[in-house]
Amino acid sequence: MIPSTYPTKEEMARLTAGMLLEIGAISFNAEELFTHASGKKAPTYVDCRKLISFPRIRSTLMDFLTVTIMRDAGFEAFDNIAGGETAGIPFAALVAERMALPMTYVRKKPKGYGKNARIEGAMSEDQRVLLVEDLTTDGGSKLSFVQAIRDTGAACSATAVIFYYGIFDGVEDALAKEGIDLLYLCTWWDVLAEAKARGAYDAETLATVEAYLKDPKDWSPSA
């Protein structure tokens, strides 16, 4: 059962950022940079998978995500909750449980044997499907997952994530052009603000992170 009263979107963003910092899901390092999936190096890293090991925080954030979905998309907007392989699967299951809806998941690519399916679970062509994932960077993987859902004949017009980078231009517009709304709890800017408020990192590290967030495309350690 989802309580009917929740904090504002801004307060949920602040609390989400704080919880991610509290469990070490956020890492800032101006000296030893992190290599992202794109191959580029950055002073920031987020690992939402850590949330599954912290029951109180996990439960709170899944409540936040569920109420965000209902507030922004509607209480009866979906018939099926689909998780993206692999990080989105536990969060999709938790959201589906709260919304009392069927849950499915989408493979990154066909499994290569049996029915060679990308969709696991029961999804029908008349269903309205919400894609749930842990995070969004540039939205690329979302387009692939949504297309796999649409290939079944089902509709998918929204994706919900815990964390949205919020630093790359045109992501929400690109998703919108494909008929996809992006719902999320917090961004790097919320995390940076909360890290500053908590004094979680030294001033030099925070300044480096802020410089990166303002210009991630052209940022370099020597900038």
pLDDT in tens, 132-155: 999 999 878 899 999 999 999 999
Q: Any residues with CB less than 8 A from the CB of 85 and at least 6 apart, and which?
A: 105, 106, 107, 108
How many Cβ atoms are within 10 Å of 132's Cβ, its own excluded?
A: 32
The answer to the question of residue 221 being in a domain is no
The answer to the question of residue 223 being in a domain is no
Please write the tens of the pLDDT for every residue from 5-26.
Answer: 789 999 999 999 999 999 999 9
What is the count of structural domains for the chain?
1
- Residue 94 structural domain: 9-214
The answer to the question of residue 133 being in a domain is yes
Q: Is the pLDDT of residue 37 over 80?
A: no
Instruction: Return the CATH number at 209.
Output: 3.40.50.2020
The answer to the question of residue 168 being in a domain is yes
Please write the tens of the pLDDT for every residue from 101-126.
Answer: 999 999 998 876 666 689 999 999 99
The answer to the question of residue 144 being in a domain is yes
The answer to the question of residue 222 being in a domain is no
